[in-house]
Amino acid sequence: MADISCKLLVIGAGPGGYVCAIRAGQLGLDTVIVEGEADGGTCLNVGCIPSKALIHAAEEFEKARHFASENQLGIRAGEPSIDLGATVRWKDRIVSRLTGGVGALLKKAKVRSVRGWATFVDGKTVSVATSDGAVKIRAENVVIATGSAPVELPFLPYGDKVMSSTHALDLREAPGRLAVIGAGYIGLEMGMAFAKLGSKVTVIEAADRVLPGYDEELTRPVAKRLKSLGVDVLTSVKARGLSSAGDALETDGPDGAKSIPADKVLVAVGRRPLTEGWGREELVLDMNGPFIRIDASCATSMRGVYAIGDVTGEPMLAHRAMAQGEMVAEIVAGERRSWDKRAIPAVCFTDPEIVAVGLSPEAASGAGFEIRTEIFPFAANGRAMTMEGEAGFVRAVARADNGLLLGLHAVGKGVSELSAAFGIAIEMGATLDDVAGTIHAHPTLGEALQEAALRTLGHALHI
């Protein structure tokens, strides 16, 4: 393969990288994207998309088991079974369609794709190891979008018994006994899915409660659901390693050492930025702890070198990376852009789901705001009742003086779909009166947003 020169080189075809390349191509920039594995990165291949496929299959299986016995809907069905291998093949077909779609979109935008591992030679040049040999790519501008990888515990290396979420998504049968280390969103999403598939699940968490990244009011319905699923949750507990026989996870906690029988152990203690293995030592990049330091334009300390996505820090979310990638492409094309987002939605696909946009009551008070905040429970929402989804609520957090919304949050069945409405309201500077005065369709879960605003104003209609 001949050496290549281009206006923009994007390293990594995850959500941030491929969106950056597509937008650059649309703007007429001569763009090359390099990816060592499959287009779509972690999110499409081994993260967001396949995990939601597994979660959906687990929910449908649990629903089928529910209808095999007496229930309030009056539905009767036979005893269900599941072929997890078939489920995984279905999941893989979805992934294949999406990753193939990314390739088609890159081609449509006239982006040149190079398959191989890129290593920096200098700030404008990389050497890519491809199946046809090494190729050098020289670019006027470079975007580092190398993403992140699961954190591996040194005393629990990945192998036959110990797995990351990536390995868990390819299991052909649900383990009889599953120990999950970490009660963050990845650990609980996967743990709850396997509990629904029939595994006996134990979750251990070093913090004193589950989902420590969310405020406790939002996580209570999830903790209650964990109990109803038969999931054992051990908080303020740390893992020490596998037992000598390899059939149990050894832990330490307030009650001393404990051995948790386990056929498989899922390690879900976070992700680390991929800042090694691509020649960072050849560059002079300022770092922010383990992350690449960037400014409001995603520019690094080196002229013409940008970084986006997980490699730049929290929150490690695909939609953050996408927004950064689009912005950087427009900056390179000469447009005036900067990162001025007011809030980035965070969604936890547990059962029930959680969505958070903006400041929690505690964070808003801590930032010096005098606030008004109220919740509207789904138990008073007609649509939630018809979905057997009464657990949970929508919460509004606003300034006390002018009603400006500082945060919108929800926990409940299907609330991930409210994230767009929440994001628009916060991004556009909506007030409680704006939301309360907007007609919301009936019967929908979205009515709870209007009702939460009304209740915070002091005149809720349906509670």
* Beta-carbon-side half-sphere exposure of residue 141 (alpha carbons within 13 Å): 22
Count CB neighbours of 19 within 10 A. Answer: 28
Tell me which DSSP letter residue 299 carries. Answer: B
Tell me which DSSP letter residue 123 carries. Answer: T
Count CB neighbours of 257 within 10 A. Answer: 9
Q: Is 66 a catalytic residue?
A: no
| CA 34 vs CA 22, 79, 92, 96, 293: distances in Å | 13, 49, 23, 19, 22
Assess contact for 279 and 270: CB atoms under 8 A.
Answer: no
* HEC string for 197-230: CCCEEEEEECCCCCCCCCCHHHHHHHHHHHHHCC
| Residue bearing tokens 């649309």 | 26
Q: Give the Cα separation of 387 and 343 in Å (integer).
A: 30
| CA 212 vs CA 84, 179, 442: distances in Å | 31, 19, 34
- Please give the torsion angle defined by the CA atoms of residues 396, 434, 450 and 215, in that order, rounded to the nearest 10 degrees: -10
Residue of 167, 319, 440, 442 marked catalytic: 442
Nearest to 242 by CA among 216, 219, 265, 226: 265
Catalytic residue annotation: 442
